[in-house]
Amino acid sequence: MTRRLLIVLMNTDPRNPEELGAPFYHAAVAAAMDYQVDVVCTATAGRLMKRGVAEAIRIKPGHDKTVQDWIREAHDQGARFWACPANLDLFDMSEADLIPECSGMMGAAAMIRDLMEGDCRVLTY
């Protein structure tokens, strides 16, 4: 039985906050169900791993809960978050700029290896 879920955020755009709830909610639920959950943020979604970005976004206008709160909840349940190394240069970031919930870097080769050789299911957003 597969015990790992890989969530890849690459088509999710932080400029469209309504797109951001589902992936983090799914990560939190799967982690609470004791699945190993890895969330890779790449392309435009990679901005969410930079300090201050997710804190400034609310999925629903007028509500106090930020995207950072959603990330923190999933992380607290056990989900691991990964930044794409290529995003550091793209968004003028360094590893020091990453949010505390980010476990580090997961490059394309590691992600593809996990997809092809690992025993995991994949959700993309």
What pLDDT does 109 receive? 95
Calculate what percentage of the chain has a pLDDT beyond 70.
100
Residue type at 83 in one-letter notation: A
pLDDT mean across residues, the chain? 95
pTM above 0.85, yes or no: yes
Q: Over the stretch 105-120, which tens digit does the pLDDT of each residue have?
A: 999 999 999 889 888 9
Question: If residue 112 lies in a helix (H) or strand (E), which one and from where to where?
Answer: helix 108-117
What pLDDT does 10 receive? 95
Residue 15 pLDDT exceeds 90: yes
SS3 string, 18-59, reads: HHCHHHHHHHHHHHHCCCEEEEEECHHHHHHHECCCHHHCEC
Domain ranges of the chain: 4-124
DSSP state of 16: S
The CATH code that applies to domain 4-124 is: 3.40.1260.10
Q: Over the stretch 49-86, which tens digit does the pLDDT of each residue have?
A: 999 999 999 999 889 999 999 999 999 999 999 999 99
2 pLDDT tier (thresholds 50, 70, 90): confident
DSSP-assigned beta bridge partners for residue 36? 4
What pLDDT does 114 receive? 87
